[in-house]
Amino acid sequence: MIRIIGIMVILALMTSFTSCIAVGSRGEKVHNLPTVGQQLIDLQKARDEGAVNAKEYEELKDKIKKSPLISAKEK
């Protein structure tokens, strides 16, 4: 009886581990890119903290706004 219970526990654990592996991105890499808004917020923080100056801030802000990811999402 104990042997049967042990085998059932082992099978249950194997099944749960297999299902954990099976659930997910189907082997595809998932890229969580920051949104344009988040990039602009981060850039503002960098400027406020002195990591970039005003000129660099404007250049980077324009670059973020013109990024290909934006135009691809808008289409």
Per-residue pLDDT, averaged over 46-61, amounts to 93
pLDDT at 74: 45
- Provide the residue type at 73 as one letter: K
72 vs 52: which has the higher pLDDT: 52
Domain assignment of residue 29, given as a range: 2-74
pLDDT at 51: 93
**Number of structural domains the chain divides into:** 1
> Would you list the DSSP string of 30-71?
P--PPPHHHHHHHHHHHHHTTSS-HHHHHHHHHHHHT-HHHH
Please state, as a whole number, how many other Cβ atoms lie within 10 Å of the Cβ of residue 72. Answer: 8
- Is residue 75's pLDDT more than 50? no
Q: Are the CB atoms for 57 and 47 separated by under 8 Å?
A: yes
Q: What residues have CB less than 8 Å from 57, skipping those under 6 apart?
A: 43, 44, 46, 47
pLDDT digits (tens, 9 = 90+) for 11-45: 666 665 555 554 555 667 666 778 888 999 999 99
Mean pLDDT of the residues in the chain? 75
pLDDT at 53: 93
* Distance in angstroms (rounded) separating the CA atoms of residues 64 and 43: 10
